[in-house]
Amino acid sequence: MKPQRPYLLRALYEWLVDSNDVPYILVDAHAADVQVPTEHVKDGQIVLNLGPEAVRDLALEQDYVMCSSRFSGRAYELYLPMASIRAIYGRDTRQGMVFPEEEFSDTAVADNLANAAPDEAGKPDKAQKADNPEKKGGSDKPPLRLV
């Protein structure tokens, strides 16, 4: 299943703009591949104004957010992998959402793959099948994971 964060981010961004609020995002500036002006990072985080008047060429993609912005009069190209975005909220109303960290974590991905991985013969692991009542009847589908 695809991560929810990109869809929620786009929906909340649109809702905030339609509500005449200014969308701010909280970014983990130390996450891999993040490109932000480091002189504006505080405590490993940066808050960015993504309002239509503040950025140009905004791209809210499945795996990243990218745009051009100005900081202290200097132009910057911002690149934010989706996993680096911790929250989106309105400047005036403070309404929005904090995203769970585990959605993009390597541990969660590894756990999901381990639970769904067949043994070397291409069949589900016998211990997994015995421990999981959902697996009765021989289905090879991984167990349901609630987010």
With cut-offs at 50, 70 and 90, classify the pLDDT of residue 102.
low
Dump pLDDT digits (tens) for 103-126. 554 444 444 444 444 443 443 443
**Same domain flag for 45 and 94:** yes
**Same domain flag for 21 and 87:** yes
**Per the structure, how many domains does the chain have?**
2
Q: How far is CA 135 from CA 66, 110, 111, 132, 139, in A?
A: 42, 20, 17, 6, 6
Q: For residue 56, is it within any domain? A: yes
* Cα 83 to Cα 28: distance, rounded to the nearest angstrom: 9
Dump pLDDT digits (tens) for 18-30. 999 999 999 999 9
How does DSSP classify residue 101? Answer: G
Dump pLDDT digits (tens) for 49-65. 999 999 999 999 999 99
Q: For residue 140, is it within any domain? A: no
**Same domain flag for 11 and 78:** yes
**Same domain flag for 22 and 85:** yes
Q: For residue 27, is it within any domain? A: yes
By residue range, what is the domain housing residue 116? Answer: 106-135
- Average pLDDT of the chain, as a whole number: 80
* Cα 109 to Cα 114: distance, rounded to the nearest angstrom: 9
Q: For residue 88, is it within any domain? A: yes
pTM of the model: 0.69
Q: For residue 72, is it within any domain? A: yes
**Same domain flag for 99 and 111:** no
pLDDT of residue 135: 40
CATH of residue 45's domain is: 2.30.30.220
**Same domain flag for 116 and 78:** no
